[in-house]
Structure 1
């Protein structure tokens, strides 16, 4: 209960930090909000989903998707995964979106992740998170060594060659 009382006491201070010109102050305020249950500030946090600063968008995604796990937020993540959004924001949105479907084996989600993974015009980190997401949604073990290799791939061709396409095909076949 004390944590909740601290939230009420700090709402004015947090709102003041959100109104700051300093990106770091705003980012810190968003993360502080996420660590509390200051749901009164949910709309204030949502405002940053459309902010021009990608780090603030990512912080807002983390608050709503990870810290608070707002159930309907999974639908708000979909537009944040479009190609006209910053790649880091897209990857963060994708990671959070997958979190809502982890272990569900949802065929529509698996197919969407497969499309992202196979899109060679897609950002390499978005593709990597799509692969990781496929494993998480399909409840198939993630090979941490493989994921580290993908993260360190020196070229796009090397990244492409490391993807376990046979396994991906099997996961998608099961989903269909």
Structure 2
């Protein structure tokens, strides 16, 4: 008999590069003061909602790792070793550029024409590998995962095809249940804790 497993998907708090509209990718940019406040706000929300989480894991990038640490400390749950499979898409030369710089260099359709970035298939494969390992793990039935915007958008919309396509903002929180056969969205792209 399969027991339902629950995953809480969290995008890290804001960074200076987020504020400037620069793509971060796998460049290791830390949280800024606003990002720290955002992480504290979600941690407080999770502490008062009553759902008991078994642990929190993150990408090894400091903005995700620091967000996860604050959540783990507030909830008094294990902070698991970071997992490289959860890090942001590698964007190559695009990392560190603003939208205007990308348009100037690669054109209006840079998302489709730039070839130096990690493909959807590569990101999806490492995300699914992570999920498969977690699903097979005993005793960790409710897991919080702190990751990144492009990674989360791809994973969320691959697992549940009926989700709205709204932008996954900083400190967004989503919950999905897995019943042994399929994923079901419980909460999608919620930022009520930032209001």
Do they fold alike, i.e. is TM over 0.5?
no
Q: What TM-score do the two structures reach when normalised by structure 1?
A: 0.28
Structure 1 or 2: more strand by fraction:
2
Instruction: Compare CA radii of gyration and give the structure with the larger one.
Output: 1
Greater relative CO (CA pairs within 8 A, separation 6+): 2
The structure with more helix, counted as a fraction of residues: 1
